[in-house]
Structure 1
Amino acid sequence: MTCLYPGTFDPITNGHLDVIKRALKIFDKVIVAIAKSEHKKPHFTLEQRENLAYIATKDLKNVKIVSFETLLVDLAKKLDVNIIIRGLRAVSDFEYELQMGYANNSLCKDLETVYLMPNLKNAFISSSIVRSIISHNGDVSTLVPKEILPFLKDETCM
């Protein structure tokens, strides 16, 4: 069985990777779906985010990276996937994620959302925290996969 793990992944973090690894214990394949999400004004381009996600997951079997700029339910139908994975870090995430899960299910009755919590050491990590630390030349080496660190330090490498 395949699941879809959508997000902006701007950039992918150890929290994201933790959720992917947890999902792989439950599902045969995880499709990491990177949303264009121009309304969120991502720091990294869609191509850079795809590249970073690929680099971070290249050693994980049964992980595929795709990008999309449609409704998530349309992507799920296109890929013939009916399970969405979402990570929950804190209670504050729950209300938003629950609403999104209900909205997706109202658009596609066969679409289910499974919520996974990252390991406690990754529970505080978010892409916005990582971007903030990077913008102040801080050390994000414990927050992101080590394979992507060189690319975060020098965006021209991507």
Structure 2
Amino acid sequence: MTSKFLIFSLMLTFVFSCKDAAENEKTVNTQTEQNESPNGLKGTWELTGFYNYKDNIVVDSFQMNPEFRQLKMYTNTKVMWCKHRPADSSEWFGYGTYNYDGDRLTEILDFGSAVMDEVIEEKKEFIFELDLNPNAFQQIELDEDGNRIYSENYKRVE
């Protein structure tokens, strides 16, 4: 009788532990889905090239030099970018907040590298036209009349 009771107890423990694991997994999945933002910019992006515009039409494009890298990382509210240029000893990075409304990206930088801090002293807010796709985006610089000047083109890394 004791061995039957022991076997029965072990089976109940196993059944309830499986049920708890399934419920825990379901809870974790639900929490993950709730924490994930519909923010399409959230993630890590790498600069792939540039477009130059004239009369709002692309007139020239440049691909990135393989030795030069620039990455941008977006969380729900923060942005950070950095450049790597092996032949250049200066550091390039910036950190701040951002928001976008679908076709307009605004980055407000709080601080950056020594070179960027000089830029930030003059201008903290950078406003771009945004062309966002699931795995690529363009941030397009506009002149004072709203005409396109150039774009930085990014691909999603993560």
Range of TM-score over shorter length: under 0.3
Compare CA radii of gyration and give the structure with the larger one.
2
* Higher strand proportion (structure 1 or 2): 2
Could you state the TM-score of these two structures normalised by the residue count of structure 1?
A: 0.26
Bigger relative contact order, structure 1 or 2, given CA contacts below 8 A and separation 6+? 1
| TM-score, structure 2 normalization | 0.26
